[in-house]
Amino acid sequence: MGDIIVGSEALAAGAVTRYALRTGYRKLYQNIYIPKDSVPDASSRAVAAWLWSGRSATLAGYSAAAVLGSHWLPDDAPAELARVRQPSPPGILVHTGAIADDEVDIVDGMTCTSVARTCYDIGRRRPLDTAIIQIDALLNVTNVGVVRVKSIAERYPGARGIRRLRSALDLADAGAESPQETRLRLLLVRGGVPRPVTQIPVADGRGRVRRRIDMGWPEWTVGVEYDGGQHWTNPEDHENDIVRLEFLASRGWTIVRVSARQLRYRGPEIIARTWDALYRAGYPR
């Protein structure tokens, strides 16, 4: 549990003195303390909330996603718990509703909702694009398929937010490796471009996979890639990009590159460039 402590337990065990607790820690939740200089993230908030519950609650939502290994979670979002019988303090959300026994896992001794159940909850409770980004991230890091999330949804056909969840699952893709890749894919799909395949392997002449393309259409050898800021400011990354693009070109691939600024402000232009690349590759008009 790192440096997160239950104040009364630490005092009773002699692990800290009252002076050390007062001067070296700050209270995150009732009786739960973290070092004064630490900045809580989604994972530490999850652990702290679970300890606050007396180690009896089930982590849910973003808190479950955090301990399951997901990335890109907001550090300042409230912790989320289920199966709690006491009123929650500020900074902790308590969810009600049935959770089946096969919808929970144990991670580092803590009970949390399973990957599929966590995606089910996030997909119902978050705005659509946020839900898709978080579902993509959790499925990517756990290698769990969308079909397992859909099986959970089938159990609760009348649940609140179920339509939003189904919309999110229709657009989710475990191949996305960053929120920006998800946003780029959504831009293309909503712009009418055929849905791309994600994480496309590209082999050399000996059949060895040398590179992967963020998303694209293998039958037309057209790919689309998001280039983060490091691609433009880090000389080593820029050099690797040159070698990489030359290799992809040698294998017949056309790559549409998209920067953060273009993704934010030039959506129609990105769609037009992608269509142009597909048409030039022979895609029927």
pLDDT string in tens for the chain (285-residue length): 568 999 999 999 999 999 999 999 999 999 999 999 999 999 999 999 999 999 999 999 999 999 999 999 999 999 999 999 888 899 999 999 999 999 999 999 999 999 999 999 999 999 999 999 999 999 999 999 999 999 999 999 999 999 999 999 999 999 999 999 999 999 999 999 999 999 999 999 888 998 999 999 999 999 999 997 655 566 777 788 888 899 999 999 999 999 999 999 999 999 999 999 999 999 998
The pLDDT assigned to 16 comes to: 95
How many domains, the chain? 3
Q: Which residues of 16-29 are buried (b: 16+ CB within 10 A; e: fewer)?
A: beeeebeeebeebb
The pLDDT assigned to 53 comes to: 97
Structural domain ending residue among the three candidates 120, 137, 171: 171
- For 128-146, give the DSSP string: HHHHHHHHHHHHHHHT--H
Q: Please tell me the pTM assigned to this model.
A: 0.93
Residues 202 and 261 in one domain: yes
Q: What is the pLDDT of residues 230-281, one digit of tens each?
A: 555 667 777 888 888 999 999 999 999 999 999 999 999 999 999 999 999 9
The amino acid that residue 205 corresponds to is G
Residues 43 and 151 in one domain: yes
Q: How many angstroms separate the CA atoms of 184 and 47, rounded?
A: 33
Does an H or E element contain 211, and which?
strand 209-217
Residues 51 and 158 in one domain: yes
The residues facing 30 across adjacent strands are: none
Structural domain ending residue among the three candidates 140, 171, 202: 171
| CATH number reported for the structural domain that contains residue 217 in this entry | 3.40.960.10
Token code pair at residue 166: 């189904």
User: In this structure, are strands 104-107 and 110-113 parallel, antiparallel, or unpaired?
Assistant: antiparallel
Residues 31 and 45 in one domain: no
Structural domain ending residue among the three candidates 171, 199, 231: 171
Residues 194 and 223 in one domain: yes
The residues facing 26 across adjacent strands are: 34
Residues 47 and 142 in one domain: yes
Token code pair at residue 240: 């690797």
Residue range of the domain that includes 12? 1-36
Say if CB 139 and CB 119 are below 8 A apart.
Answer: yes
Token code pair at residue 90: 């500020």
Q: How many angstroms separate the CA atoms of 161 and 153, rounded?
A: 10
Residues 156 and 205 in one domain: no
Q: Please report whether residue 285 resides in a domain.
A: no
Residues 46 and 146 in one domain: yes
The pLDDT assigned to 62 comes to: 98
Residues 239 and 260 in one domain: yes
